[in-house]
Amino acid sequence: MRKNDITKFVLASTSSLYAGQKMPFLETLPVNEPISPYAASKKAEEAMAYTYHYFYDFDVSILRYFTVYGPAGRPDMSPLCFIKWIDEGTPITLYGDGTQSRDFTHVDDIARGTSSAL
């Protein structure tokens, strides 16, 4: 980026950094205790992005995606599993006590948001 005079950087991070935190989540939440290797790797990426912002004044935007779904989605993700199970008439597997919730974001919204961040 420095060699080519590119100063804008958009990082695709993850909502997994919020795991174990009280809701509602705030953008200012420190999220310094990731509870999975995946979340830890994303936190490390965010720290590196901040370092480049600090030293080289890059304009950094970090987007924490929440469970992306849509065409060409991963077949192991719950929206596609739910559709498959409903189509087959298979009972939906429920984990936990049923009071939990999860946010899902359509890939088109992710694409628009990422483009806007650029």
Catalytic residues: 38
CB 46 within 8 A of CB 13: yes
Closest residue by Cα to residue 60 from 4, 117, 5, 3: 117
The two tokens of residue 32 are: 């310094």
DSSP line for 2-22: TTTT--EEEEEEEGGGGTTPP
